[in-house]
Amino acid sequence: MRRNQKSLQAMVAALALTCTSAVMAEAEMSPQRSDVYPMAQDSLLLDVTDTGDALVAVGVRGHILRSQDGERWEQVNAPVNRLLTAVSFADARQGWAVGHDAAILHTTDGGLNWELQHFDPQGQGPLLDVFFESEQRGFAIGAFGTFLGTTDGGQNWAPVDAPAVSDAAVHLYAMTRAPDGRYLMVGEMGSIFATDEEGQWAQLDSPYDGSFYDVQALGAKGVLAVGMRGNAYITNELGVAEWRRIESDTLLGLTSITPVNAKRMLITGLNRNLWVLDAPGRMTQIRVYDPESSNTGSLNAAVVRDGQVYLAGDRGIHVMPLPPADLASVTSQ
């Protein structure tokens, strides 16, 4: 009888576990609001941007942080608790954030409140960048060649008709637009894509076969791309002039590019490093120390505002003065 009782208890426990797992799985497939954490400003952040009126950063567990002055940061409510990877604003009020499970969030009040526009945990993979050229037209890109577009401010998202991109089926990491109107996109395996004069996407020859993590237009026709193992390449005219490798003197991954002005760029990277790239193509490395960490984390994005650099990284937001024009004596901050 005891054996039968144990068997019955085991069956009940197994059934309960199965039901619980099913409920948890169903919950995971449904968007869950992000919890508000007291220490959210010290958690992993993957992107930060300046809306013109405020700074907005996104990261782990659906955290969205907002600051008017760059000193006091407040976590705002978000409709998902998934990792958010990128944020982009078309103007001071209209913004979008993207992340895992193909989540796309939208704000109409400068980042104070957010609504969910797109969510597909069973289909598309994580989205890794978002770019809006206006309040209506924008793109979201991500893993396995995921490439979505909208022409109505995100009310409807659909795959972009770009055979060159879909056929490559690579992870897409970053997208931007050049002053001449061409769109640029980079990803794994040295992938570089750009639109032609007719707006059609094409895959271009690449100087490197590792991943590129960010891309930035330089002037009307030039391009800078950075990625794995300290690789940074520049060309004066995309698709025409040759690529030139910039000596970075590092094997650390380079994660993002932030323009300071027409002649200077900030490049973030692993082990909490920051590089300054000047017009002649010289990179100067600056170590951003954090006394409360092992300094082995990452700096993932940067934004410059009022002479300060706001860095999004593994320990939240780090603020430092904009490096001076003369970097000869600068070794650390």
Enumerate helices (H) and strands (E) in the chain, giving the number of each: 2, 27
Q: What pLDDT is stored for residue 6 in this prediction?
A: 34
Instruction: Give the mean pLDDT of the chain.
Output: 87
Contact 315, 293 (CB under 8 A): yes
Instruction: Judge residue 82's burial from the number of C-beta atoms within 10 Å of its C-beta, 0-12 exposed, 13-18 middle, 19 or more buried.
Output: buried
Question: Which domains occur in the chain, in start order?
Answer: 2-321 (2.130.10.10)
Task: Provide Rg for the chain, Cα atoms.
Answer: 22
Please say if the pLDDT value at position 43 is more than 50. yes
Q: Which pLDDT value is given to residue 11?
A: 32
Question: What are 97-135's pLDDT values in tens digits?
Answer: 999 999 999 999 999 999 999 999 988 789 999 999 999
- 142 pLDDT exceeds 60? yes
More confident residue, 95 or 7: 95
* Degrees, nearest 5: CA angle 205-146-259: 60
**CB-based contact 159:147 (threshold 8 Å):** yes
Q: What is the pLDDT of residues 7-27, one digit of tens each?
A: 333 333 333 333 333 333 444
CB atoms within 10 A of CB 32: 13
Q: What is the pLDDT of residue 179?
A: 86
